[in-house]
Structure 1
Amino acid sequence: MTLLSILVGTLVAGMGSVWLAALLAYALLSRFTQHLLSLAAGALLATAFMRLLPEAFEQSVSAGVSAQALFAVLLVGLVFFFLLDKAELWHHGHEHHQAESPDGAHSHDHHDAHHGHDHAHGGGWAVLLGDSVHAFGDGILIAAAFVADWRLGLASAVAVMAHEVPHHVGDLVVLRQTLDTPRAALFKLSLAGGVTAIGGVVGYVLVGAMHEYLPYFLVVAASSFIYVALADLIPQLQKRLSPAQTAAQVAWLFLGMGLVALLGELAQH
């Protein structure tokens, strides 16, 4: 039953986020993308601080794990995701630099146009590969949450889906430039999102075999959510906005937190 829940949760988080992103990108609903960033940030922070970390500390009592060890894992997890982000940024920046002429402007002769076309296709595959690896990691984290408690798994799956939607909107825009049709872009990104389920199965086996390490898995999941919210989503919201726009931003942030809290309450009944 747990494995079935993991498969459903990971597919909803992985492929569901792609289809929702397509709805936003292709159905002229892009004005909601900024709101989704706020919603996702709230959902991730609430899931980490209200669900994952408390559960990790509860599990640590029976597993004989100290609070100091869990906080150390949380710190190492944050640094790890920071370094992972750095590596990805360096890789994309390096590719971008190679695709440009020395003065920073794109050249327009036939050779460079051809090179740019090849590079775009390479960039498309880089996006799909990056998404697949990311989805695999998300699947493992969701699986760890489901093994601890199905309600925790549900909250984690929703939080992952919420933060992947704005990310996938950007991916679809990139893939539209490298593939012939929007349908091809959606199909390939859906396959990448489906890798979340593979990560879920691997996570289920891993956590099952090393159940005493479950508190650590949960803390790593929390560190991933906290890092994504504070380093990736929140900075995108730090813009000079009108009072009305700021109020809307804060409202969506609290809506994300409220959604996680509500899911937790509904799941208990």
Structure 2
Amino acid sequence: MMGMKGLRLALLALVAILICSVYAQETEKSAVKIDVGSLSTQEIEEQLQSCPVVEQLTAHHASEGEEHSSMLQQAFKMLFPFTSPAINSFVATAYISGPPNFLLALVPTNVDPSSLNTMVAFAVGGLLGDTLFHLLPEIFLGEVPEGEVRVRLVEPNKNLLLGVAIMVGFVTFVAMDKGLRIATGGEGHTHDHGHSAEPSNGHLGDAKAKASALEDKDSGLRNRKGNDAKASATSPSSSEPPKKEIKLSAYLNIIADFTHNITDGLALSSSFYASPTIGATTTLAVFCHEIPHEVGDFALLIQGGMSKKLAMGLQFVTAMGAVLGTAIGVAVQEFGGNSASVELAKGLGNQGLLGTSLQWGDLLLPFTAGTFLYVGTVGVIPEMLETGPNKLKELKGMLVQFLAMAAGAGIMLGISWE
């Protein structure tokens, strides 16, 4: 009996070995059929989604996490009801360009930009919060649909290119700021999207210093006009009041606003093509920033010698820069494509930029993230660090500004927190 039992065990062991051998051979054959090197990053990620562990995690996440939608997210869906990211981008551009400009009709001509410090701090907190909590995670990890679990492959060269795009956006604003400083003779603090010269403690003084410098440069030319022209302009019997000269800084401010508003349009279009949530949060951040931006610009134009009507008209003209930027961003996304929308040939590996999975459209979002980083750091923080002789007043002002920044960033954090 023991001999027969031992023989059966030996036969079973032999059969098991044969089965394992056959299974190993079949596995090896199937592995040979799938050349991992010929698969793109998206194809590999799609195959990993069918992994049993990922499927179990997805099922667990769907059962444990109840789908919820905050009031703010519901409001986003009402404000952007379209399924087309292109249409939503233009709707967002109308939101950020229209209301802030119409509000200028209610702004007095003697508004002090320094009175907008708290609003500026709130807006900067929102911009930095949107960049750090929404844009950067979206850039490097992508959007994960609610109730799902996604596997992402680390693609080192792709991350390097995304970092380069962020740096290019940052340096682009540095170049713009530097160029405007050169154009104004290096006097004062040039206006950067309402950004680098955000209304703050030093803003009004800088504007006056810049205007004074430009006025001094033109004083010799004005003096050559002679006493007769001077008398005719200031004579009490003159029926028309003397015209206030429009300074060069006001015209440069208009050019800078138009150029920088283009980046707002790029930010909105690239955000909506990334995901509806990212687009909505970026719109909110830009909108909060546009109000003090427009009021500060309006004050600079008035101080530069323009009438209220002319200043409002030119602000509407600069708002068209955002429309142009949105159109450029939509064109790049539609014709240049992005990694989520472009249909690539299967089994040929990554066919994007420099052998990565990136397309040209994927670089718009990191570019605008770089500009937002400039706005919230180099553009505003130096002015927030300026202090006056009254220590108690400065401490109170600092506390209010930091609370406002925390509130702006907190809203951005609360939108995405699950």
Give the alignment's TM-score, normalised by structure 2.
0.54
**Which residue is equivalent to 2:379?**
232
1:91 Cα shift?
1.1
Give 2:286's aligned residue. Answer: 160
User: Can you list the C-alpha shifts for 1:120-147, whole angstroms capped at 9, x where unaligned?
Assistant: 2654433222211211222112111111
Pick the aligned partner of 1:243 from 380, 395, 403: 395
The answer (yes or no) to whether the contact 1:10–1:139 under 8 Å persists in 2 is yes
The structure 1 residue matched to 2:306, chosen from 175, 179, 189, is 179
In structure 2, the residue matched to 1:142 is 268
1:48-59 equivalent positions in 2, closer than 5 A: 48-59=131-142
Instruction: Give the 4+ runs in structure 1 shifted more than 4 A.
Output: 20-32, 60-65, 94-98, 104-108
Instruction: Give the share of equivalent positions with the same residue, in percent.
Output: 21
SS state at 2:377 partner: helix
- 1:139–1:199 contact (8 Å) kept in structure 2: yes
> Are positions 1:70 and 2:136 aligned together?
no
Higher relative contact order (CA 8 A, sep 6+): 1
What is the rounded CA distance, in whole Å, between the counterparts of 2:300 and 2:112 in structure 1?
18
How far did 1:250 drift? 0.8
Structure 1 residue 82: deviation in Å?
A: 1.3
Change (3 A) 1:106 1:254: farther
* Pair 1:188–1:253, CA change in 2 (3 A): same
Task: Give the number of aligned pairs.
Answer: 262
Distance 1:92 1:252, change over 3 A: same
The alignment partner of 2:225 has SS state of helix
Find the aligned partners of 1:148 and 1:66 in 2 and give their Cα distance. Answer: 16
Q: Which amino acid aligns with 1:179?
A: M
Over aligned residues, Cα RMSD in angstroms?
Answer: 3.4
Q: CA deviation at 1:93?
A: 2.6
- Which whole-Å CA distance do the structure 2 matches of 1:11 and 1:220 have between them? 22
Distance 2:137 2:399 in 1: 30
Deviation for aligned residue 1:247: 1.6
Find the aligned partners of 1:27 and 1:121 in 2 and give their Cα distance: 17
What CA deviation, in whole Å up to 9, does each residue of 1:178-232 have, x standing for no partner? Answer: 333x233213202311331222122111122222234321111111001111111
Q: Tell me which of 257, 260, 265 is aligned to 2:409.
A: 257
Residues 1:111 and 2:225 are matched in the alignment: yes
Q: What amino acid is aligned across from residue 412 of structure 2 in structure 1?
A: V
Paired residues for 1:213-232 under 5 Å: 213-232=360-379
Letter in 1 for 2:141: E
1:34 aligns with 2:134: no
Partner of residue 8 from structure 1, selected from 78, 84, 91? 91
Specify whether residues 29 and 121 from structure 1 end up closer, same or farther in structure 2 by C-alpha distance, changes over 3 A only: closer
Q: Distance in 2 between matches of 1:7 and 1:107?
A: 46
User: Residue 178 of structure 1: SS of its match in structure 2?
Assistant: coil
Counterpart code for 1:247: L
Unaligned runs of 5+ in 2: 1-83, 144-151, 188-209, 234-242, 339-358, 388-392
Structure showing the higher helix proportion among its residues: 1
Distance, in Å, in 2 between the alignment partners of 1:72 and 1:213 is: 13
1:130 corresponds in structure 2 to 256
Against the structure 1 CA distance between its residues 193 and 49, is the aligned structure 2 distance closer, same or farther, given a 3 Å change threshold?
Answer: same
Rate the CA distance shift 1:214–1:56 in 2: closer, same or farther, 3 A: farther
The alignment status of 1:45 with 2:128, answered yes or no, reads: yes
Higher mean C-alpha displacement, 119-128 vs 25-34: 25-34
1:93–1:69 CA distance, 2 compared to 1 (3 A): same
1:202 corresponds, among 318, 323, 328, to 328
